[in-house]
A = this chain, B = another copy of it.
C-alpha cells in the first residue's frame, strides 16, 4: 500500500509524463489515469514496503522425499531499467532436509514477494533461491526462470516473443550432476 502523500506524488508525476509525451491529461480517457497508475504501482511494487517474507508454514513429515518440484508458476515483475513488465514462469525444486516441507501455496507467494519490485531477471532468480534456502535449509534448491521482457519486445531491439532463461542452483543441485540433469529433464519434458 502507498500512503496518501506518495499516492499524490505519483499522480503528479504521471500527469507530468502524459503532458511531456504529448498527451492531453484532461481528455476523458485519461482523467483518472494518474490516480489509477498510482494505485497500480502500489500493487506492482507492493513488496517494496513489505516486511521480510514470513508468511509461510513448515510441516513436519515422517520421512523426507526426493526432490519436490513445482512447475510453471506464473510471475510478473518490472524491469528496473525501463519500468516495463517482464513475465513468464518459474520452475522451483528443492530436496527437503530436517523432515519438513513448506506449505505449497507459499512458494508462489514467495515468488510474488520477490517479483513485486523493480528487478532484473537474474537477481529475481537468485533471490527466490536464497529465500527458499533461508526458510527450508534444504539439501539443495534449483530455480529456473523463463521470461518475456517488454523492453526487448515493444521497443529497442523489438524481438517479438523472445524468451530469456536464467537459473540458479545451490547445495546438491550444484554438486550432483545426475540430480541437476533430472531437474532439467523434468522442466523441459
Contacts and interface: CB of A to CB of B under 8 A. Distances in A.
Number of copies: 2
Interface residues of A, number: 51
B48 A83 contact: no
Given A36-B82, A81-B36, A6 B20 contact: yes
Nearest to A17: B13
Contact of A29 (B6, B44, B120): B120
A48 B48 CA distance: 33
A154 B80 contact: no
Nearest to A150: B85
Nearest to A47: B22
Most buried by B among A16, A32, A44, A154: A154
Contact of A83 (B37, B118, B153): B37
